[in-house]
Amino acid sequence: MALQKTNITDIAKKTGLSITTVSRVLNGKAGQYRIGKDSQQKVIEAAKELNYIPNQYAANLRTGRSNTIALIVPSINNPFFADIASNITAEVRKFGYITIISDSDENIENEELELKQLVSRNIEGLIIIPCGNKWEHIKSLYDQGLPLICIDRYFEDLDLPYVSTNNYDGAYSATKYLIENGHTRITCMQGVQLSTPNKLRVQGFRDAMEEAGLDSSSIVGDSFTLQNGYLETKLLLQQAEKPTAVFTLSNTIAMGCMKALKEEGIRIPEDISLLTFDNHPYLDYLSTPLSCIAQPVDDISKIATKYLIGRLNGNEAGTRQVLLKPKLMIKDSVKRIN
């Protein structure tokens, strides 16, 4: 059954006032048209009694404004992206906007289609975590004047604004920490290979290993998923010479890795050490709390929202491209090897 919505005609009938008078009161124009206090009160009370909800779509047509920001993420199932979505929604709300969240499911065709649909709904701004290395559809909207900003993933050679973590620095410091604890056989489990964060994290891993004179070729995986971590770990454990440490490039990969290790009776960190990119509160409640590279999700969300709202308010500041420093959080999942 369709929802029966109250409209201004219903309020006019209940109050005995004209539709025009009701409309003017509900649109905040009572003073402009010298509508009496008694009539205003009648309209307000009737609207409450009838549970009147303004038609935002009609208001959009009149004003050209939707007060809506779109957020596109690669996977809402990923705790890191879910955390970002929660933070962005809270920040956007502070400025009187609402957020429409869309999930591209790490698929560029989905991303392009959903972006078209969101634009057709008169969004006023866009915050996007691109799912691949294809950027033309995003750059086209930016060139047409849509205020937007990339977060987490971005395009290094474009003038599109972005806020992200210094992924190279985070991976480099994580690998150095493992090496300093005596690990020489370290496997890196990567995510989406063409994404900028993944490429920079892999490069940070390689450089730290090569500077220490160690083999940097043990890089496996192809997605930021639990399944990727699980399958690659299963394969890793079939090798004659197993790694002493695994560095996963997301906490979802780490969860899959832990599941496989548990099934094989491999203990963390007694048998294999584990360190991951991305922090999340649940990592502290595991049987072995995971050491990790924590990204400043709160700061990323606040900077991105502030930039976007500034653009919406007419602040035409130059392109913002910001990299924030991550933090190595040492917990219990890395064993020191003498």
Do residues 195 and 93 both lie within one domain? no
Residue 269 lies in a domain: yes
Residue 176 lies in a domain: yes
**For position 24, what pLDDT does the model report?**
86
Do residues 74 and 114 both lie within one domain? yes
Residue 335 lies in a domain: no
- For residue 246, name the pLDDT band (cuts at 50, 70, 90): very high
Running DSSP on this structure, what letter comes out for residue 317?
A: P
CA distances from 191 to 30, 228, 257, 264, 324 (A): 58, 8, 13, 23, 21
Structural domain count, the chain:
3
pLDDT in tens, 47-93: 888 887 766 555 554 555 678 999 999 999 999 999 999 999 999 99
Residue 338 lies in a domain: no
Do residues 130 and 181 both lie within one domain? no
Residue 271 lies in a domain: yes
Residue 99 lies in a domain: yes
Do residues 135 and 224 both lie within one domain? no
Angle between helices 19-26 and 37-49 (to 10 degrees): 80
Q: Domain of 231?
A: 167-295
Do residues 174 and 268 both lie within one domain? yes
Token output for 312? 């919406």
- For residue 105, name the pLDDT band (cuts at 50, 70, 90): very high
**SS3 state at 99:** strand
pLDDT in tens, 115-132: 999 998 889 999 999 998
Do residues 171 and 291 both lie within one domain? yes
Do residues 176 and 146 both lie within one domain? no
Q: What distance in Å separates the CA atoms of residue 22 and residue 43, rounded to the nearest whole number?
A: 6
Do residues 103 and 138 both lie within one domain? yes
Assign residue 242 the CATH number of its domain. Answer: 3.40.50.2300
- For residue 7, name the pLDDT band (cuts at 50, 70, 90): confident
Do the beta carbons of residue 320 and residue 307 sit within 8 Å?
yes
Residue 334 lies in a domain: no
> Is the model's pLDDT at 214 over the cut of 60?
yes
pLDDT in tens, 167-204: 999 999 999 999 999 999 999 999 999 999 999 999 99
Do residues 196 and 140 both lie within one domain? no
Do residues 216 and 243 both lie within one domain? yes
Residue 336 lies in a domain: no
pTM, rounded to two decimals: 0.82
User: Sign of torsion, CA 77 156 99 102?
Assistant: negative
Q: What distance in Å separates the CA atoms of residue 166 and residue 201, rounded to the nearest whole number?
A: 9
Do residues 271 and 288 both lie within one domain? yes
Do residues 117 and 198 both lie within one domain? no
